[in-house]
Structure formats: C-alpha cells, structure tokens
Amino acid sequence: MNVFLWVVQAVLAAVFLLAGAMHATQPKEKLRPMAPWVEDFTLTRIRLIGGVELLGAVGLILPAVTGIASILTPLAATGLAVTMLGAVATHARRKEPAAIVVNVVLLAPAAVIAWARFGPYAF
C-alpha cells in the first residue's frame, strides 16, 4: 500500500505542480481560454490559488522524502482536497459539469492520501 500511495502522491503532485505554475505565472488573458473560471477572480486570487496548488504539490512529496515533519504530507493532501471542494463549488455555480468531474477526480486521491497518511499508512 505504501508504494501505491507514493505513486498516487507523485502523480497528484505533478498535476498540481503544472496547474499551480500555470495559475501563478500566466496572465489572465492567456488563462481565460483554458480556464474560463478566471473571469470570476482577480489576478491576485488566481495567483493565490496557483501558490496554494504549488505548495500542496511540494507538500505531498518533500516532507516525507526529507523525513522532516512528515505530518505536512497529509496536511498538504487535506489542503488540496479543500481546494478542490472550493473548485467544485465555483464550477457548480458557473454550471460547468465537465470541470466538476475533473475536480472530483483530483479530490478523491487527495482525500485518500490524507486519510492514509494521517492513519494506517503514516510515515
């Protein structure tokens, strides 16, 4: 199970690293075609969301790899799950069901990692 969790953590970290880098660095006009939700947020909030995604991605891997404060890994997973709940709410309000599916697909492994790393498969 530990190997499975590591694989899920690595894949989830890669996804959030890419999304976070995009949200944290790209101008709003460039994000708009692929992420229409940016219309509802200021550039500062979009950057903040990108920063949260980047921190979550790093938090899934780095604390456990270094052995320093490995409690940060399940906390990062929990934070990403909460972020995805916010994304679901945003896309539900905007009536974007396809985006909700993507958010739920990202929410599920984040929740599994949080549950497993807080509980039976902690470091």
**Interval 42-100: pLDDT, tens:** 999 999 999 999 999 999 999 988 988 889 999 999 999 999 999 999 999 999 999 99
Residue 19 lies in a domain: yes
Q: Is 100 within the bounds of a domain?
A: yes
Which of 42, 41, 52, 48 shows the shortest CA–CA distance to 17?
Answer: 52
Q: Which domain holds residue 103?
A: 2-118
For residue range 77-86, what is the model confidence (pLDDT) as tens digits? 999 999 999 9
**Nearest alpha carbon to residue 15 among 77, 68, 73, 71:** 77
Residue 123 falls inside a structural domain: no
Q: What is the pLDDT of residue 70?
A: 84
Please give the pLDDT value at position 27: 97
Taking all residues of the chain, what is their mean pLDDT, rounded to a whole number?
Answer: 96
| Domain total of the chain | 1
Residues 6+ apart with CB under 8 A from 82: none
Instruction: Answer whether 60's CB lies under 8 Å from 12's CB.
Output: yes
